[in-house]
Amino acid sequence: MSLDVLTFLFVGGSFALYIGIAIWARAGSTKEFYVAGGGVPPVANGMATAADWMSAASFISLAGLVSFIGRDGSAYLMGWTGGYVLLALLLAPYLRKFGKFTVPDFIGDRYYSNTARTLAVICTIVISFTYVAGQMRGVGIVFSRYLHVDINTGVVIGMAIVFFYAVLGGMKGITYTQVAQYVVLILAFTVPAFFLSAQVTGHFLPQIGLGATLDSGMSVLATLDQLSVDLGFSQYTDGKKSTVDLFFLTVALMCGTAGLPHVIVRFFTVPRVKDARLSAGWALIFIALLYTAVPGVAGFGRVNLIETINGKDNTGTAYADMPDWFKNWENTGLLAWQDRNGDGKVQYSAGKAFDAGKGKPKFVEGDERGEFGQRITTNAITDPSFDSAKQPFANEVYVDRDIMVLANPDIAQLPNWVIALVAAGAVAAALSTAAGLLLVISTAISHDLMKKTINPDISDKQELMYARLAAIVAICIAGYFGINPPGFVAQVVALAFGLACASVFPAIIMGIFWKRHTSQGAIAGMLVGLITTMCYMYYFAFGGGTPSEYIMGISPGGFGTVGAILHVIVGFVVSNMTEEPPQEIQDIVEDLRIPRGAGAAHDH
């Protein structure tokens, strides 16, 4: 059966399953729309949480990121997995015990202030829209390759699918849809990983594949180091980031993970506090199945990519002899070749062949084929910075990092059904997180803004209507960001984690563990954390700032840690300068920290 037919069957079948679940589990009340009625079993909630959290950045972009930047990619692995441990230990059980629907709900009630609630809504919306941009972009990338449409059309298709099960089903529909999506995405990631590991190393476990010995007598890591040096890159096991930047980025990703609103809300969907802890444990196991395989998949993919393009002798491959996968990905605009020396060979090395913008290669002067310009075999361009004594040839290939996981099965010439499975898994990963984020946005607007702040007298039916309307608007805005993304998927997602780290996470932690924290302190802390981090990120990521201007060498993704530190300092100072919280608030905080069965503790 052809790849196109299998892809339509796998992706189309998964869509039918998701929509069917949404219709079956359609929300009939605000409680079902917001928290699935609060009755989801821990194992199912753990799978849904894993799918909600393992987004397009985890499935599509993370292995590609590690594949291209090597050691520095460990910050993403450590930050995103370590943050989940932080969430399970320090937040999940306490927030579930508090018994509210959302993060703004917790902050509004804990800090006895509608101003704090509104600010938390703003933080939630900013974080969620920053995050969801990467998810919709991921959907567009998958559809552009496998359904033979352009990326923008792929984003629109993704919007339509999310509309059905997010707007109709609410959290109830999303939860059970995400259980199915987890099964699809974990199979889609691990099955090719097993194939790749067996093909490259001779055994099936990708988790230990990087240390395996190849036919050359060197390990996968040693081979990557050697290939990287030969092509003018730095060693794969060396990093460009300073130790300070790597530390700050890891902490920002950890605390950002623990502060993500769409993940936190998952712990309100279970019946009891004990179930929240169990859900977190199950989710960590389900997440580890994918994350422990990422380094191997990244390493195998990098070796295969270099050897396929440059050939075993490392001198390049004639374009006429390039396999079909290369030309298929050229058609998406996410992979491109320009024959800079006119020899008809595709040659990949260090250095930029093109100025890339928004994922589309923009060729240097002399391009005769327009913006995408694939298959250029004439009009060779001489690079004045090219030094033949340092590297064998100038780089002629543009590779978007976000295609690595999707292209791996093609590169390794795996069976068509595996390639189709990867397409279905990538779509599941992006859609599951996009739906969770869009629900958080709609809930923040309908419940926290409309019901709790603007008009407390609206009925349950009216609130549900506002939630669905807000979800529709959020889907449209998310689609716009997917069509006009500010960067590649993992980069955009990292910025969202930094914002969560600086704004929401400190407010929740201090609210749980420090009963003296006042509403004025929380508001001041959130404002300082959010504004400083947003300004720093905007200036360096999009405003023309250069790495030489980084404060202490800290990149935009890692500045969330600085924002969190400023948040805590300002919150502490302002709280100690203002009147302490009402006694009933202090009693609630005290009650949150007492284990069940000890005195006055009870499950709200």
Structural domain includes residue 478: yes
pLDDT given at position 165? 63
Residue ending a domain, among 436, 470, 486, is 486
Instruction: Give the other-Cβ count within 10 Å of 382's Cβ.
Output: 10
Lowest mean pLDDT among 168-177, 209-218, 424-433, 528-537: 168-177
Same domain, 275 and 381: no
63 inside domain: yes
Residues 425 and 394 in one domain: no
Q: Is residue 178 in some structural domain?
A: yes
Query: What's the pLDDT band for 574 if we cut at 50, 70, 90?
Result: very high
Express each pLDDT in 376-394 by its tens digit: 332 233 444 444 444 444 6
State whether 360 and 287 are in the same domain. no
Regarding whether 185 and 258 lie in a shared domain, the answer is yes
Is there a single domain that holds both residue 346 and residue 230? no
Please check the confidence at residue 334 and state whether its pLDDT lies above 50.
yes
Grade residue 61 by pLDDT with cuts at 50, 70 and 90.
confident
What's the confidence (pLDDT) of residue 371?
Answer: 30
The answer to whether residues 2 and 414 touch, using CB atoms and an 8 Å cutoff, is: no
Neighbours of 271 (CB within 10 A): 16
What does the pLDDT look like over 250-309, one tens digit per residue?
999 899 888 877 777 777 777 777 887 788 888 888 988 888 888 888 888 888 888 888
SS3 at position 398: strand
Identify the band that residue 111 occupies on the pLDDT scale cut at 50, 70 and 90: very high
For residue 285, tell me if it sits in a domain: yes
* Domain edge (last residue) among 455, 486, 517: 486
- pLDDT tens, residue by residue, 507-544: 999 999 999 999 999 999 999 999 999 899 888 876 77
User: Mean pLDDT over all residues of the chain?
Assistant: 79
d(C-alpha 75, C-alpha 240), whole Å: 12
Cβ atoms within 10 Å of 566's Cβ, excluding its own: 18
Nearest in space to 574 (alpha carbons), one of 513, 504, 520: 520
Burial class (CB in 10 A: 0-12, 13-18, 19+), 551: exposed
Whether pLDDT at 101 is above 70:
no
- Same-domain pairing of 149 and 267: yes
User: Is residue 602's pLDDT more than 50?
Assistant: no
- Give a yes or no: residue 534 inside a domain: no
Cβ–Cβ < 8 Å for 174, 166: yes
End residue of a domain, out of 343, 374, 399: 399
The phi, psi pair for 219, rounded to 5°, reads -75, 170
Q: What residue numbers bound the domain in which 14 lies?
A: 3-83+105-300+414-486
Q: What is the pLDDT of residue 519?
A: 95
**Pair (197, 247) in one structural domain:** yes
Is residue 152 a part of any domain in this protein? yes
**Do residue 442 and residue 387 come from a single domain?**
no
Burial 23-55 (b: 16+ CB within 10 A, else e): eebebeebbbbbbbbbebbbbbbbbbbbbbbbb
Residues 158 and 293 in one domain: yes
3-state secondary structure of 443: helix
**321 found inside a domain:** no
Identify the pLDDT of residue 375: 32
> Alpha helices of 39-169 — where are they, by DSSP H?
42-53, 56, 62-69, 74-90, 92-98, 103-110, 114-146, 151-162
The answer to whether residue 362 scores a pLDDT higher than 60 is: no
Structural domain contains residue 513: no
289 and 347 within one domain: no
Number of structural domains the chain divides into: 2
d(CA 36, CA 52): 14
Whether residue 344 sits in one domain with residue 218: no
Judged against a pLDDT cut of 60, whether residue 368 lies above it is answered with no
User: Quick one: DSSP state of residue 36?
Assistant: G
Residues 269, 133 share a domain: yes
Rounded to 5°, the CA angle 177-179-182 comes to 110
